[in-house]
Amino acid sequence: MKIPRVYPQILGLIACLLGAVAQASPARPNIIVIMSDDHAYQAISAYGHGLNETPNIDRLAHEGALFTRASVTNSICAPSRAVMLTGKHSFKNGKVDNLQAFNWAQDNFAKQLQRSGYATALIGKIHLNGTPEGFDYSTVLPGQGHYYNPDFIVNGQRQQFAGYVTTLTTEFALEWLQTGRDPDKPFLLLYHQKAPHRAWMPEPKYFPLFADRSFELPDNFFDDYTGRPAAAHHEMGVWRDLDLVYDLKMLDPVEELQTKYRQLFLSHIGRMNADQRAKWDAHYLPLIEAYLADPPLGRELAQWKFDRYMQDYLRCIQSVDDGVGEVLDYLDEEGLSEDTIVIYTSDQGFYLGEHGWFDKRFMYEESFRTPMLVRYPREIKPGQRLDQLVQNLDLAPTLLDYASVEIPPDIQGESFRQVASGDDSAFRDHAYYTYYEYPAEHSVMRHYGIRTDRYKLIHFYHDLDYWELYDLATDPTEMNNLYDSPDHQDIQSALHRKLEAVRQHYGDSDELNAEHLERYLAFRAGRP
C-alpha cells in the first residue's frame, strides 16, 4: 500500500505532542525501600555514635537526608511492617502483635503502586503470614528465617538455599533488578534484611572484625529503674537475660553449659554445612575455651557479655551495609541513581546496652526511634539532617506522593516529601505510639503514649496503671520520671489533653485496648 505523503507529518506532530506531555510530567521515580531488622540507629556511623563504620548506608546520608528523630508507632517486627505497608496504625490495620494473623486482603501501598503501573517486588523478611499481596514477584523468608542456608518462599514455593541469609537476600534483589522486572515500568523494590536480628550469627568473613574490641558501657547500663516499675519488670537484660549458648555462642563441646536456649541454638547451627561449621568453630571454640578456663564474674562478666553481644551484632550489620553498597553500585552502573528514591530504615530501633538492655518494644527513645535515610537526587539536597517527627506510618503516603498516586483518605500517615526537600514549614507536631504484646517474651507491659517536640507521656496499663513523663531536653536517656512532679503540672495537663485529642483523631481508645487484650488472651489460650 502506498503511504500518503501527509502521514509522516502527522506522525511527527504526534511525536512532538507526546514529547511535550512527557516533559510536563517527568517519568515516575523508581523506589527501593531497604529495611533491616532490629538495626539500632546507634549502629549507623552517619548517626554519629562511633560504634562502627557503615560507609554504604552513610552514602544515603551524604547524598540525601537523614532523619534524626524518626520513630515507629509500635516497636515490634510484624506490626511495624504492617504499619509501613498500610500507612495505618496497628489498631486500624489489625496487626497489633507478632502473633496474630495479618489480613493481606486490605489495601497497601505496594498494591496501590502496582495498580498504577509499577513493577513491584518483595525480597527478604516480611514476617507477615500468608502470601504477600501487591507484588509481581516475592521471595520471602518464612517467619523469622535463618541465618545459614535459609529457606525462602519463592512466589509461594518454599525451598532451601545454600549460603548466608544477608548475601542471598542481596543476590535475589539484584537478580530481580537486573533481569526480573519489566524494564518498561517504574519499579518498587522492598529489599528487607533479616539481620541484625537475634541471635546475631555473623558471616564468616566478619569474624575477625571487632575481635579485640571492648565496648564502652552506656552510662545507664546499670539502671535501677527507680520511678519506672514497668521498666523494672523487663526480661531483656544484657547481663541477666542473654543466653550464654544461644546469644553469646558458648556452645561448649563438653555440654557443661545447659542453658535454656541451647537446643534452639543447635537447631540454627545444625543448618550449617561442614565448611561453614569449621569456620564457625575455628572462631568460637578458642573463645569458649577461654571462657570456661576463667569465667569472668560480677562487673567483669557484665562487660564480657556486652562485648560478646556487640561484636556479633555489629558484624551482622557489616554484611547488611555491604548489600546496600552493591545495590547503590548497581543503580550507578545502570544510570538509575538520579531517578530512584532509596530509603534505608529498620522495623524499629534496638537497645545496645542502654538501660542495661537488648531487644526493643518500649516507647523509650532507643527502640521508639528507628533509622530513616532517604536519597532522591532529583528532589532532595545532599547532606541534610532533618529533625521532624516522621514515623514509619508516613512511608506509604510519602511514596504514593512521589509516585503521583492519590493518597487514599483513610491513610493515617502524612507525606514527608516536602520535608525531605527542605521545606521546614509545619509537619505533624507529635508521634503517637501503641504496644500490645504482653504477656509475652521479654515481659514489656502494654502501653501507649505521645511524643511531642520536647516531652513524652506514656501510660502503662493492664496489670499495672502507671504514667511516665519525660523532658527529653533535660533528660534524653529517660531516667527521671517527672509524672506528678509539682513543677510539671501545667505541662502534664497539656500533654494529657494532647494525648486525648490525638487518640480521638486516630480512632484509638481504652475500649479498643480492652478488646485487643481480650482477643490476645483468648488467642494465647487457644480459644476461637
Residue among 243, 347, 354, 365 that touches Ca ion (CB under 5 A): 347
| Omega before 439 within 30 of 0, i.e. cis | yes
Q: Which does 459 bind (CB under 5 to 8 A by kind): Ca ion, ligand SGN, none?
A: none
Q: How far apart are CA 501 and CA 213, in angstroms?
A: 48
Could you write out the DSSP letters of every residue in 266-329? HHHHTT--HHHHHHHHHHHHHHHHHHHHS---HHHHHHHHHHHHHHHHHHHHHHHHHHHHHHHH
Closest to ligand SGN by CB, 81 vs 417, is 81
**Which residue matches cell numbers 509481581?**
136
For residue 123, give every residue at least 6 positions away whose Cβ sits within 8 Å of its Cβ, in sequence order, or none: 138, 139, 140, 169, 172, 173, 176, 189, 190, 191, 192
Cβ atoms of 37 and 193 closer than 8 Å: yes
Of 219, 273, 472, 278, the closest CA to residue 365 belongs to 472
Task: Point out the residue whose Cβ comes nearest to Ca ion.
Answer: 77
Query: Residue 277 carries which side chain, given as an amino acid letter?
Result: R
By CB under 5 A, residue 38 contacts Ca ion: yes
By CB under 5 A, residue 77 contacts Ca ion: yes
Closest to ligand SGN by CB, 92 vs 360, is 360
Q: Which does 441 bind (CB under 5 to 8 A by kind): Ca ion, ligand SGN, none?
A: ligand SGN
Applying CB under 6 A, the residues found at the interface with ligand SGN are 37-38, 76-77, 98, 127, 144, 197-199, 359, 441-442
Candidate segments 17-25, 32-40, 278-286, 503-511, binder of Ca ion by CB under 5 A: 32-40
Neighbours of 524 (CB within 10 A): 12
Q: How far apart are CA 20 and CA 14, in angstroms?
A: 10
Q: Which does 354 bind (CB under 5 to 8 A by kind): Ca ion, ligand SGN, none?
A: none
Q: Which does 340 bind (CB under 5 to 8 A by kind): Ca ion, ligand SGN, none?
A: none
Closest to ligand SGN by CB, 199 vs 238, is 199
Cβ atoms of 205 and 152 closer than 8 Å: no
Task: Provide the minimum distance between the beta carbon of 353 and Ca ion in the complex, in angstroms, as a whole number.
Answer: 18
Closest to ligand SGN by CB, 441 vs 500, is 441
Q: Which does 198 bind (CB under 5 to 8 A by kind): Ca ion, ligand SGN, none?
A: ligand SGN
Q: How far apart are CA 351 and CA 370, in angstroms?
A: 11
Task: Provide the minimum distance between the beta carbon of 42 and ligand SGN in the complex, in angstroms, as a whole number.
Answer: 17
Q: Which does 199 bind (CB under 5 to 8 A by kind): ligand SGN, Ca ion, none?
A: ligand SGN
Task: Point out the residue whose Cβ comes nearest to ligand SGN.
Answer: 77
By CB under 5 A, residue 37 contacts Ca ion: yes
Binding site for Ca ion (CB under 5 A): 37-38, 77, 347
